[in-house]
Amino acid sequence: MKKYMYLSVLSLSAAFFTSSCKEDDSIGKIDAVPVNYDAGYIVNGESNSISVINLETNKVEKTIDLANLESMGNGTMNMNMDNIWPHHIYLSPDKSKIAIAAPGMDFSSGHNMMADTATTTDEHSSHHGGSSSGSSTTSMQMQGKILILDAVTGKLLRELTLDGMTHNAVFSPDGKELWAALMMPEGKVIVYDANSYTLLNSITVGQMPAEVTFSDDGKKVFVANGMSNSVTVIDAITKQVIDTIITGEEPVGAWPGMNGMMYVDNEEGQSINIINSMTNMMTDTIYLGFMPGMAVRNSVMNQMWVSDPDNSKIHVWTKSDNGFAHGGEVNVGYGAHAIAFTKDGKFCYVTNQFEGTVSVVDVSAKSELLKITVGVKPNGIVIRYK
Cα–Cα dist 281/30, whole Å: 46
Flag whether 121 is in a domain: yes
What letter does residue 133 receive in the DSSP assignment?
Answer: S
Domain that holds residue 124: 1-28+69-204
Flag whether 350 is in a domain: no
Q: Are 88 and 211 in contact (CB under 8 A)?
A: yes
Flag whether 151 is in a domain: yes
Cα–Cα dist 223/205, whole Å: 8
Q: In this predicted structure, what is the pLDDT of residue 31?
A: 59
User: Which residues lie across from 352 on neighbouring strands?
Assistant: 336, 357
Cα–Cα dist 208/253, whole Å: 12
Coil, helix or strand at residue 160: strand
pLDDT tens, position by position, 112-147: 545 444 444 343 333 333 333 333 333 346 789 999
Residues whose CB is less than 8 angstroms from the CB of residue 297 and which lie 6 or more positions away in sequence, other chains included: 255, 257, 258, 259, 261, 263, 303, 304, 305
Cα–Cα dist 8/6, whole Å: 6
* Per-residue confidence in pLDDT tens, the chain, 386 aa: 444 433 333 333 333 334 444 444 433 444 568 999 999 999 999 999 999 999 999 999 999 999 887 443 343 444 455 679 999 999 999 999 999 999 988 877 766 545 444 444 343 333 333 333 333 333 346 789 999 999 999 999 999 999 899 999 999 999 999 999 999 999 999 999 999 999 999 999 999 999 999 999 999 999 999 999 999 999 999 999 999 999 999 999 999 999 999 999 999 999 999 999 999 999 999 999 999 999 999 999 999 999 999 999 999 999 888 889 999 999 999 999 999 999 999 999 999 999 999 999 999 999 999 999 999 999 999 999 99
Cα–Cα dist 158/292, whole Å: 33
In one letter, which amino acid is 87? H
In one letter, which amino acid is 30? I
Flag whether 283 is in a domain: no
Cα–Cα dist 137/203, whole Å: 21
> What phi and psi values does residue 114 have, to the nearest 5 degrees?
-60, -35
pTM for the model stands at 0.85
User: Which residues lie across from 180 on neighbouring strands?
Assistant: 169, 190
Cα–Cα dist 108/354, whole Å: 8
> First-to-last CA distance in the chain?
33
pLDDT tens, position by position, 212-237: 999 999 999 999 999 999 999 999 99
Flag whether 375 is in a domain: no
Flag whether 180 is in a domain: yes
| Number of domains within the chain | 1
Flag whether 316 is in a domain: no
Q: Are 162 and 144 in contact (CB under 8 A)?
A: yes
Flag whether 105 is in a domain: yes
